[in-house]
Amino acid sequence: MSMTGASMFWLDVLHDCKLDQPLSLPYDRYRLSNEHRTGRGTSISFDFGHDLSHHFLIHASSNNISLEHLTFAIYFIFIFKLTNEQTDVCLAMNINNNRYRDELKSIIGLFENVIPLRCQLDPHWCFHQLLKHVQELTTNSMKHSYFPLQHILNQHPHISKHAFLDTSLEFISYKNSNDNNAIMIGDSQLVPASFSVNINEDEIL
């Protein structure tokens, strides 16, 4: 694995990116710029239901694209709308596919990382153009996702707070099962889930 090549890749991808500028997302409380990071957050998931999921599968299959890339493209459109058409969007992407390279398959251990995923949208693109763009940028970013987050951040020493870490995305596909603990609120179903993310604040801030 070429660390030099990966370093050059991330320098090029994040060139002129305002990593310290948070997304202009709607919020329900005023947030201080020097607010202490508690590690707490909110996770929102979308259940598309049987019919829409079927159309997802058909569209992905007919266009030879993965469900992950299709979902990311839709998510970037969602962020584009929420931010009043912000065209340069950089999010944190959780990488937990720890055996995506042949060099790692024989090594014992868990390999996880967080990488920036930057999408520069053209408002005049059709959806197919955006889809191809997201497919390319996600694929290329994954190829260099072995490069540690700390090294990526060190390439931008003038930035004290990396705002892209505040918003992350991760594609999780699962088979829905009958959960006795599910709660219905209107048309929405809430299902309890647990996960843990260990991030050393001193290493990334």
Q: What is the CATH number of the domain that holds 162?
A: 3.30.559.30
Taking Cα atoms as reference points, which of 126, 13, 144 lies closest to residue 63? 126
Provide the strand spans (E) within the chain.
88-95, 113-120, 168-169, 183-185, 188-190
Q: Is the pLDDT of residue 2 over 50?
A: yes
What is the average pLDDT value for the chain, to the nearest integer?
Answer: 79
176 is a domain residue: yes
38 is a domain residue: no
Q: Which residue(s) pair with 168 in the sheet?
A: 92
The total number of structural domains that make up the chain = 1
31 is a domain residue: no
- For residue 177, the SS3 value is coil
Give pLDDT tens digits for 135-153. Answer: 999 999 988 988 999 999 9
Taking Cα atoms as reference points, which of 92, 73, 77 lies closest to residue 17? 92
Amino acid at 114: V
Which pLDDT belongs to residue 201? 44
Q: Is the pLDDT of residue 33 over 50?
A: yes
Mean pLDDT value of segment 27-47: 65
30 is a domain residue: no
12 is a domain residue: yes
Tell me the pLDDT band of 179, cut-offs 50, 70 and 90: low
Tell me the pLDDT band of 94, cut-offs 50, 70 and 90: confident
Which pLDDT belongs to residue 49? 76
Q: Is the pLDDT of residue 189 over 70?
A: no
Backbone angles phi, psi at 156, to 5 degrees: -130, 65
34 is a domain residue: no
Mean pLDDT value of segment 25-54: 70
Q: Domain containing 160: what range?
A: 3-25+44-204
11 is a domain residue: yes
Give pLDDT tens digits for 101-123. Answer: 666 666 666 667 899 999 999 99
